[in-house]
Every structure is written in C-alpha cells, then in structure tokens.
Structure 1
Amino acid sequence: MAGAAGQAPRGARLRLGFAAAGVLLGAADTYVVVITLPAIMTSVGIDLAHLQQATPIISGFLVGYVAALPLLGRLSDLYGRAPVLTACLLLFAAGSLLTASANTLGEVVAGRALQGAGGGGLVPVTLALVADLWPARRRGVPLGMVGAVQEFGSVVGPLYGAALSAASTWRAIFYVNMPLAAMVAAGVRAPWSRGQRVSTARRPDRAGWTLAAVCAATTVLAVAAPPALKDNITTGAAFTPLLTDTGITSPIALLALLSALALLVRELTVPATVRPLLPIRDLKRGLQRLDWIGGALVALVLGCVVVSFASADPQRAVVGDSAPVLLPAATVLTALFVLRELRTADPLVDLRALRNRAAVGSLVTNLAVGAALMAALVDVPVFARATVDPDSQVAAALVLARLLVAVPLGAVLGGLLVGRAGYRGVAGGGMVLAALMFVLMAGWSATALSDPLAGISWLHATDLELAGCGLGFGLAIVPITAAILGVVPQRLHGMAASLTVAARMVGMLAGLSLLTAIGLRRFYSVQAMLPDPARLCPTTPLNCVAYNNLVTGAAIDELHVVFLGAAACAAIAALTAVSLLRRSGSAVVLGMGIA
C-alpha cells in the first residue's frame, strides 16, 4: 500500500472522491427500501397485510452487509484497496440487476444480500484508504468527509427512491445502480485517480474494457429481457432459447457468457506493458493468504446475531423465535473463531492488535452509538405519524430529515475539531449532546412537532433538538474511527475499519429490538389501565374519540421510554469514549493535503 508521503495530493483527492461516490451510492441504496418495500411486496405476490413475510428482504440485506465485512476488509489489506473497491461495486451491481429483474421473494432476497455484501464493503475499505493516503495528523477532515457522505446517503436515499418510483417503477431504482456503479468503478481504476502520471503509466487495457462493456450490456439484456425487445419480431430471436426452455441458452445469454469467458482469458494473459482492468493474476496471492476458515466462522457468528434480532417481534420478545438456537450457536462459533485466530499464522482478525484499549474502546463505543442511532431512525418518524402527520409517511420522513441533515455537518466539524479536542473529547462531547437531546425528546408533547418557537410559524423547538441530536452523532463519527485506525498497523487498516462498521450495525439491530421491546412493555402497561371505551362513549364505543386520544397518549408514553433508553445508550457511548479512547493521535494538521 502506498504511504501518504508517496501520493500526490491531487491523486489522493481524486481517488478518495471516487471511493466516496461509491459509499454514497451504497448508503442511498441501504435506505431506499423504506420507500420501495410495499411495491416490491406486491410485485413478488406478498399481501401488504402480511408485512412479516417481507422480513427476509431486510434481514437478507443486513446479513450480506455485516457478514461480508471482515472478509472484504481483510482482503483489501492483502490485495489492495482499489481492486476490492472495484469488486464491491461489481457485487453491488450484480445484486442490483438480480433485484431489479426479480419475480419471486427468493430472487429479491438473494439480490439484496449481494447488494448488502457489496455496498457494506465499500465503507470500511474507503476508511482504510483514507488511513493509507493520509498520515494520522491529517486524517480528520477526509474521515469526516467519508462519514458525511455516508450519512448524506441516508438522507437522499428515500427521496431518490421516491422520485424514481414516481417517474417509473421500483425496478428502475436498481437498474440505475448498474451504470452508476460502473462509472464509479472506472474512476477508482483510472490511473489519474491513483496518483500515477498517465504518460508514464502502463497502457490501459482497452480490450478488457471493451469486453467488460459487452459482457455488462448483454448480461443486463439477458436478465431483464425488456418486453419491447423480447416481443419484437426483429429482435425477439435473440431472446429465444436455442436448446431448451431455459433462458440461458438464448443467443443474448450465450453472448454474455462468451464475453465473460473472453474477459477472464484476457485478464489472465494481459501483457506486462498493459495495466489490467481486473488484476486476476495478483488475486491468487491474496486469496491464498486469506483466512477462509476464520472468515466463514465470523460470517456465521454475525449472521446468527443479525437473524436473531432482525427477525424479532418486539411485541413478544427482544429476539426472534430462532434465537434460542442461533445465539448459543453464535457463542460456540465465536469460541472456535477466537481459537482459530490465535493459532493461525495469518489471521483474518488479528486479536493481538485489538488488545489496545483504544481499539476496544472504538468497538464498544460504536455498539452503543448504533443502538442510540437506530432509536432515532425508527422512532422519530413513528412519533410524527402518531401525532402531527398520521396520514403521511413522507411528512414523517421529513421530520427525521431534520436530524439526518445535521449528521454529515457534524462529521465534517468533528474532523476539524479532533486535532484540538482529541478523540475522547470530540466523541464524548458529541454523544453527551445526543444524550441530552434524547432527554428533551422524551418530554415531547403531542403537539411538540407543530408548536412554533418564539412566534415563528415555520420554526419549532423540536427542530433544534433533532438537529442537535444529529450533530452529536456526526461529531462522534471521525474520532471513533480515527482512534482504532491510529493504533493498528497499516497492514490491518481494512480489518479494523470493517470491525467498526460491523460493531455499529450489530448495535443498531440489538438496540432496535431491546428498546422497542421495553417501549412496548410500557405501552401495554398504560393501555391496561385505560377505561373501557363503552364507559367513555356509551353511544359510540367503536368510534370513541376520547379513548383513541388515550391510546395515542399511551403510544407517546412508549416513545418517551424509547427515547430515554436511547439517551442511556448515548450516555454509555460517551462514557466509553472518554474512558477508553486515546486523548488524541498525532498532532492533527487540518487540511486535505499530504505531508
């Protein structure tokens, strides 16, 4: 991996810019399902009244996202950041194609799992790329930019999805991903984004690019089979199977397979004077060193944890019905994983490198941050629907946007402040701010979101509280990540970054189940004490406004409890940040230049 000193500033910025564009694409797609889920359910034959049947669409994405993180992070340490970023984008594009053309639930789940694996891998590899390109004293701002881009994706994802769905169908969202992923991959692989002089670099692999374009175009056509072409008298023959009723024997599908084979042969035999599009020959070295057994074990552990919490029905339990089997299995697999990593010569996760207090603090803090953040993402829109916007999911999402917009601003600000206040100061301060805002949110009344502030009709106190909460989360992003990257060797940056992302995701899932279950317990206890609607409204007991208002009050009480729980999680994150993170790394010199 090139050190910071060996990179031209412009090349470093360009390379990070393309990698960050991939992070934005993946982050936006993570949240787009919020808008598209009902339409996807209808397309695959699931009634909207049976929402639980669509759970695999969400949990499949999460399993792919989390389980592949350690493998992809470690592979980037062994094989290089740019090749793994390209592979992640290809996985993401393949998953998008499968999802867009899906007609069954299984196909959607498989497509979303591939998208999760590809999109999830983009984040830690990009964070590791920052650590490779910038020395510790200059990482604050670029890490903040990556964090800001990731959180900005969570804001634009639902809006982007809603706009494309309105203009076309939900499938268009995923079809558009493919050319976007291809453009980002081309930018990542371009010599001028890698600090190379185009005049002195090896010649680009024009034949490889041509074969890749043919392969991509024919694959999309074969899988999507657009009716306008398939049913056309002139072009329909290209989609007609030659030997059986299986579409894979159609001329267009055979052309896709042949072009893929030709691309593979080309990349294996590319001359030394040509820079290969896909450095497959170098991949063998990285794959031989990769701890596949450790990767399988940690993927199974994370998969068991994700499914245990993602399949939970909080009205009945914190974990799903399969948890009594999956969680003990995860415990046994974790023990096997630890034994494996301690004994193997080239471990997937170097546990010895993580014994540093700052590394442990980064992971533990991220668990608590994830739990608190998920409460905001889920329950702020629920509060809006329960009070001021009962009939508009879009309006409720815009309430959440007041929090989300502040997160990227906080991430950039955190990158600027980390050199002066240190890791523990910025992260701890940010999470204290988030905790205080959650405490204020726990006191919201039924009209809080619409009550004007200081007589200004368009401004509300809740706007400032939501923005403050988002700002607090944003401030914590950079120091938590920079803390672990600053104490592990450069050869392990990918592994370390992947673990921080995985920790936050696990915290989000566990926090969602736990806090929702606690909140529902409060709701049911309050509901049990409500008077009978027949006593309140003897003439209209089935449509009793007074009783409905009391139920709404019980729901608000439930959300207050969740917000208090989120405040506790944020406070724990602040405590672990202050007590476990280092005061600072090297003296941070702000700016995007390279020393």
Structure 2
Amino acid sequence: MTLSRRPGALLALASIAVAFAAADTYVVVLALPDMMATAGVPISDLQRAAPIISGFLLGYIAMLPLIGRIADLRGRVPVLVMSLVVFAIGSFVTAFSWDLGSMVTGRFLQGVGGGGLVPATLALVADLYPAPRRAVPLGVVSAVQEIGSVLGPLFGALVLALTVWQAIFMVNLVVAVLLALTLLLVTRTAPAERPELARREVRSGAPRGRLWPDPLALLALGVAVAAYVVLALRPARIQQDLTWGQLFIPYAGDGRWLTPLGVTVIGAVAVLVARCFLARRPLVDLRSWLGALRQADLPGATLLAIALGGIVLAFATADPEVQVFAPQGRWYLLGSLAASIALVLHLRSASAPLIPRAALRERPAWGALLVSLLTGAALIAALVDIPIYARTTLYPDSQLMAALVLVRFLVALPVGAVVGGQLTRRYSPGPVAALGMACAALGFLAMSRWDEGSLTHPSSTLVLLLCGFGFGLALAPVNAALLAHTDAAVHGVATALVVVARMIGMLVGISALTTIGLRRFHAALATGRTPEDAALIQEHVVFLGAAGCAAIAGVLALVLLGGRQSIREPSQAS
C-alpha cells in the first residue's frame, strides 16, 4: 500500500508521537521530588532542580527551527523517525540517570527529539493533504499536542501510584521505539500517486526494501546499553564481588565515567558512531545527516538556538513570586539580543540561510507567528490556573480532582479543532481564528468573575467548554494560513517557527501573568484580606490578563490572516 493511500495511518502515528512528546514537557511535575532524591539534590534546594524542566524546554524550543529545516531538505518521515530515536535515547538516559548531569542530559535529548516531531508532522500533513482539505488534520495535530501537555502530569501521577518514577521514561522509551518501527513499516513503499513525495523520500534516504544493519554497530549498541545500565544501577551483588567489583573502581578520581564500566560505555559508543560513518550499510547514516546539517545552515541554526535559549533560560528559571525573569535573566536576554542581531546579519548574507529570505514574505505567514505568540500566552493561563483555581476553592486537598476540572476545558478543544478545520475549508482563516479567540476571551472574562462556589454551578462547565472550544477553533486556521502562504519547500521550518512562537508566548505569558497576579495577592493580604480571598483575586487577575491576550490575538488574526480570500495552494497565492 502506498503512502498516499494511508494518510490516516500516518497522521494517527505522528499525532500519537506528538502527544507523547508534549506530555513529556510536564510529566516530571509530580515526579520531581523523587528525581531530585535520586540525583542527590535536597528537596529544600528546588532551584537546583530547575534544569530538569528547563533542559527539556531548551532542547524542545531551541532546536525546532533547525529540525524543521532538515525536514524540508531530507524529508518528513526520516525526521519523524530520527526524532523518535533521539526521544527514545533521551528517555533511556533519563530513566537510568544517577546524578543531575545525566538527568538533565537525558531531558535535553528528549526535548530535541520531541520538538522535532511537531514541525515534521505539520509539514507531513501539508504533503498528504491538498490545501483546501488540510485544515481538519492540522487542527487534530494541534489539539493533540495541547492535550498531551496537560495529560502528562496525570500520566505521571498514575505511574507514580503504581511504581517508581523511572517507569515513566521506560514507557516513553518503549512507545517511541514502537512508533519509529511502525512508521518505517508504513512508509516502506513510496507514494505512487504523488511523484514529488516519492522523489523527496528517495533523496532523504527513506527506507525502501529490506535493510541489513551493520552487525558490528548492533553489537556496539548492545554493549553500550548493557554497560550503561549496570553503571547506573550498580547492583550490590556485582559491586561486592571480588572480581566483578573492580569494574566500579575508578582509574582516577571518583567519577563513574572513569571506571572500567564507564570507559566501556564510552568506547562502545565511539565504535557505534564510527561504524555509522564508515559502514556500507550503517545502522544510522550519520554522514547524510551531517550533510543535511551543513545544508540546513548550521551557523544560522546555532545563532537562533542561542537567541531562543536565552529567552527560555531567562523566563523558565524565574521565581514568579518576585520577578518576571530570573536575576541572571538580563544577561540571558542580552545574549539573546546579541545572537538575534548576528542572526539577522547572517540571514541577509548567507547563500542558503536557515530561514530563506522570502519564506515569510506574505502577511498571513508572519501574521501567524504573532497570533500564535499571543495564543500561547492565553492558553498557558488555562492549562495552569484553572487547576490552581479549583485547588484554591473546591478541592483544596486533592490535586487529582483539581486537575480533572481541566478536563471540561480539554474535551471541547479537539471538538473546536475539528469544527475550525471544517470552517476553514469554506471561510478565510482570519475570521475563523478571530471567532475562536473571541470565545476564549469571553470564557476568561467569565472566569475572572468566579467566586468560591462557582465550580459547583453548571454555568462553570459551559464557560470551560466555551473557552476550550475557542482555542480549538483557532488552532487549525492559524496553521492552515501559514502553510497556504509559504512554499512547500519551507513548510518544515515555517511550522517550526509558529510552534516556537506559541511556546515562547507560553513561557513569557505564564511568567508575566503569574508575577502580576502574585503581586495583587500580596497587596490584597496587606489590606487585610484573608489568604483565600487574596488567592481568588490573584486568579481573577491572571484570567483577565489571559482574556486580554486572547482578544489581541483575535484582532490580529482578523487583520493579518486574511479577510475574504479562502485557503489556496501556494502557487495560486503567488
């Protein structure tokens, strides 16, 4: 069966992968204390554990544009498979980590792999579906991504109730490997009906026919995995044996990597990498991937990664009770500004820049980035503060019940995404997205008037459904407008940028809104209000700020994403 005959299967596989990657963004929220104990970080020193979360976000956001550009050059499916492989490696390293360094390394790799799934999936949808029909699948992918972000903590809570925190990442490892293998099986035959896709997959090295992996590379992989597991677990029976125990004795110092086991891991990985470069049938063709990195403008990608990384670190490491960004955040932002200036100069002079100069020339293309930025700032308020409001009022003793209140919001989001996709097939994406953000803004305005008992009234469910439906309604038209007004050759990097914009909006939005809300909280306490009343005032401020962000996003969508013109193919748009 050809690829074009099974777009539903590919979309389902890619959507499941995106959901797992999104869930991993916040899956450590409940597991963080146990992870800190494993890494030897005291619970009182929570700030030292921040890199466990920010490391994932850094890998997820900073590497997105580069991976999106590689998806344009090398093909969507190979990038999806490789992203799943990197995600699986990161899950493995995290599951068997023993200190903060190995834990952060694993989380960073998970972020890189998870982030790469999103632009490749959105670009794949554009390849599989013509412009008038792609809005609905785009909405499905976007909805699944947002739902995964919230289901992550629930998944973590379920696993922690049954077993240890490492099982969370072992599940991720198994799912990532199974998805990668299934994608390879589904796409073994090139699409006959769409020759341009066939040529792309052939150029990209997509799997065709039977593969015979390098046996020496497989052996090196097995040795590296086994040695790393033993190095991490340090079984007492082996460690106390007079002979085998010498494997844990460092040659110098006291680090694990300087032990015979550590050196074995390093040596096996070195052999694996060498074989992937030199073998006739490598397990992973690193030479072609390195060529794709060079072709994708690695210097430009590095500058953009530094610029985005500075923003992530400035806001993700802040204490919102006292500041919008961290004390060292001004230096992060200064470095981000310097890298941004250098990037602009580089993009203007490079012969093959990371972001082609005409890629976002049309107003709906760059307008989608602005709308996505503000949508992210509003959306994060719902994902974070609706459970906080529920915990403050109706469920002070149950984190699970407070989180389940958000389900009322979530169930409407995919419904809105499907409806938004259907409407975008008939109407311009601008009014559809504006309508969605208007619904979200009205929902937030209603939440800003909630009192202690509002969640017991049926009207609160209607408000949550309206808000979730509004966000879902806006997801598809934003992505559809972007893809319809950019060339197919830059769909990967373009969709990566719109996801980056939303994630940056979420980071900045939650930091700014929470800081403003907490200041109102302390001001209310100073006037003699009870802590319960002050907490309610704090949430009202956050919801009002989110309503403002949603309203501005709606206005920009109406102005920038198109008025009367419907979705067209890029060739017709130009």
Aligned equivalents of 2:287, 2:531: Cα separation in 1: 64
Q: Is the 8 A contact 2:238 2:244 kept in 1?
A: no
Superposed CA offset, 1:77-124 (max 9, x none): 112222222221122112112211222222222221111111111111
Q: How does 1:293-332 map to 2 (within 5 A)?
A: 293-332=299-338
Superposed CA offset, 1:488-541 (max 9, x none): 1111111101000100010001111111121122222221111xxxxxxxxxxx
1:389 and 2:389 aligned: no
Superposed CA offset, 1:330-377 (max 9, x none): 222211101100110100112432131101110000110010011111
Give the letter for the 1:325 counterpart.
Answer: W
Report what 2:561 is aligned to.
Answer: 581
Superposed CA offset, 1:446-497 (max 9, x none): 111123xxxxxxxx32122112211111111111111111111111111101
Q: Find the residue that maps to 1:190 and give its secondary structure.
A: helix
Q: Find the residue that maps to 1:206 and give its secondary structure.
A: coil
Report what 1:161 is aligned to.
Answer: 156
Task: Compare 472-481 and 499-508 and name the one that shifted more.
Answer: 472-481
Report what 2:539 is aligned to.
Answer: 559
Superposed CA offset, 1:223-275 (max 9, x none): 2229999455799888863995556875798489558736853775446xxxx
Report what 2:226 is aligned to.
Answer: 221
Structure-1-length-normalised TM-score: 0.85
Aligned equivalents of 1:49, 1:112: Cα separation in 2: 22
Give the letter for the 2:230 counterpart.
Answer: A
Which structure's CA Rg is the greater one? 1
Offset at 1:412?
2.2
Q: Specify which of 460, 480, 487 is matched with residue 462 of structure 1.
A: 460
Report what 1:69 is aligned to.
Answer: 64
Aligned equivalents of 2:245, 2:144: Cα separation in 1: 41
Any stretches of 5+ residues in structure 2 without a counterpart? 193-206, 570-574
Q: Specify which of 464, 474, 479 is matched with residue 472 of structure 2.
A: 474
Report what 2:487 is aligned to.
Answer: 489
Distance 1:233 1:109, change over 3 A: closer
Report what 1:436 is aligned to.
Answer: 442
1:265 and 2:265 aligned: no
Q: Is the 8 A contact 1:14 1:193 kept in 2?
A: no
Q: Find the residue that maps to 2:359 and give its secondary structure.
A: helix
Q: Specify which of 535, 548, 555 is matched with residue 568 of structure 1.
A: 548
1:95 and 2:90 aligned: yes
Q: Specify which of 414, 425, 433 is matched with residue 427 of structure 1.
A: 433
Distance 1:302 1:490, change over 3 A: same
Aligned equivalents of 2:209, 2:471: Cα separation in 1: 45
Superposed CA offset, 1:107-145 (max 9, x none): 222221111111111111111111122221221122122
Q: How does 1:332-347 map to 2 (within 5 A)?
A: 332-347=338-353
Distance 1:249 1:190, change over 3 A: farther
Q: Find the residue that maps to 1:446 and give its secondary structure.
A: coil
Offset at 1:568?
0.2
Q: Is the 8 A contact 1:407 1:471 kept in 2?
A: yes
1:115 and 2:95 aligned: no
Aligned equivalents of 2:270, 2:17: Cα separation in 1: 24
Structure-2-length-normalised TM-score: 0.88
Give the letter for the 1:51 counterpart.
Answer: L
Task: Compare 380-389 and 560-569 and name the one that shifted more.
Answer: 380-389
Q: Is the 8 A contact 1:11 1:193 kept in 2?
A: no
Q: Specify which of 390, 396, 403 is matched with residue 409 of structure 2.
A: 403
Aligned equivalents of 1:291, 1:227: Cα separation in 2: 37
Offset at 1:38?
2.2
Offset at 1:47?
3.3
Distance 1:50 1:448, change over 3 A: farther
Q: Is the 8 A contact 2:513 2:542 kept in 1?
A: yes
1:137 and 2:132 aligned: yes
Aligned equivalents of 1:99, 1:514: Cα separation in 2: 31
Aligned equivalents of 1:41, 1:262: Cα separation in 2: 32
Superposed CA offset, 1:26-79 (max 9, x none): 122222112212221232233334433322222111111111011111111112
Aligned equivalents of 2:349, 2:321: Cα separation in 1: 43
Report what 1:29 is aligned to.
Answer: 24
Report what 2:123 is aligned to.
Answer: 128
Q: Find the residue that maps to 1:352 and give its secondary structure.
A: coil
Q: Is the 8 A contact 2:7 2:128 kept in 1?
A: yes
Superposed CA offset, 1:157-187 (max 9, x none): 2222222222210011112222221111112
How many residues align? The count is 549
Q: Is the 8 A contact 2:323 2:515 kept in 1?
A: yes
**Percent of aligned positions with the same letter in both sequences?**
43
